[in-house]
Amino acid sequence: MAKKPKVLVTRVLPRPGMDLLKLHFDLDVNYEDQVIPREVLKEKIGNKEGLVCLLTDNIDAAIIARALRLKIIANYAVGFNNIDLVEASKRKIPVTNTPDVLTEATADLTFGLLISISRRIVEADHFLRAGTFKGWAPELLLGADVHEKTLGIIGLGRIGRAVVRRARGFDMRIIYYDNERLPVDAEKELGVQYCALTDLLREADYVSIHAPLSERTHHLLSTSEFELMKETAYVINAARGPIVDEKALVRAIKDKKIAGCALDVYENEPRVESELIRMNNVVLVPHIGSASVETRTKMALMVAENVIAVLVRKERPPNVVNGQIYGQ
């Protein structure tokens, strides 16, 4: 039997994905329950044909330069801003992600964040656990209604649309901003209205981000954007932290330019602005958008399928993000 191709896995993934990978490859797995140290990654990548990595691994030019035999970079995430796509493409290394399978889970979490911040669910939970619940009261923990409010979606991709579907069930008015506008028919069918970012910020009760991180979206929301928002509005972010200027966000909340925020992602993960942690009118969760058993399992299988496509079947991987290397 031919030798199995060597694949580096930077962190243990859900079992079905690991099993599938093991079947086909000679695996080198980081079994530590932490991000693989950069030096270790640098050293181990040299003789590998496949790399399975996470959004917390910085696969930059220096790493790719060491990866002399590498034929695929399979990212266990839909976002791939952690990978230097230009360098990978120069070397004709396909980079793959895990789209679609995590769309609904991320939209669920987004909606959970939206309702939590609005109806003060986390704060109310803390209140009760502190033993302060003395009985029903007319003005205890009043929040804001979600239904019939205006939701502003920034980035109407797969996840943005899945959030729209949920919002429609709450009879929300939905406006969106994207660098590409949908055809009018598609907007009608989805029940969304396009507007300029400035108008979206002025009108929305919730500004929810669903765009990828790029140079264009870095600090898309900063001081001047928060100035435009309603004082009663909330920012929801389950996309990528650096799309929001976190320090400016803290100032906007402190200065009551906006009502608060609910975040799944942070500008310098895993660090979170300490002032955010002390605020009541924020909900903070640790990057768990896709974190359901079902979804993470599907993502692990998808990652394995992409590596198998390239290293076993010698095919174009199904979820390649730099398809131009195949000459299209």
Which are the catalytic amino acids? 240, 269, 287
Q: Is there a contact between 156 and 182 (Cβ–Cβ < 8 Å)?
A: yes
CB of 158 to ligand GLV, least distance (A): 4
- Applying CB under 6 A, the span of 13-21, 158-166, 278-286, 304-312 interacting with ligand GLV comes to 158-166
Nearest to 58 by CA among 36, 90, 91: 36
| Contact status: 103 vs ligand GLV (CB under 6 A) | yes
- Applying CB under 6 A, the span of 11-19, 151-159, 167-175, 227-235 interacting with ligand GLV comes to 151-159
Phi first, then psi: give them for residue 262, nearest 5 degrees. -130, 120
| Contact status: 292 vs ligand GLV (CB under 6 A) | no
For residue 138, count other CB atoms closer than 10 A to its CB: 5
Residue 129 burial (10 A CB sphere; 0-12, 13-18, 19+): exposed
Rounded CA gap, 113 and 284, in Å?
A: 9
- One residue of 4, 119, 158, 219 binding ligand GLV per CB under 6 A: 158
CB of 125 to ligand GLV, least distance (A): 25
Rounded CA gap, 254 and 307, in Å?
A: 47
- Applying CB under 6 A, the span of 37-45, 97-105, 229-237, 301-309 interacting with ligand GLV comes to 97-105
Nearer to ligand GLV, 100 or 315 (CB): 100
Rounded CA gap, 143 and 91, in Å?
A: 53
- One residue of 12, 35, 79, 173 binding ligand GLV per CB under 6 A: 79
The crossing angle, in degrees rounded to 10, of helices 103-118 and 121-129 is: 60
- One residue of 50, 94, 99, 112 binding ligand GLV per CB under 6 A: 99
Question: Interface residues with ligand GLV (CB under 6 A)?
Answer: 55, 77-79, 99, 102-103, 157-160, 210, 289-290
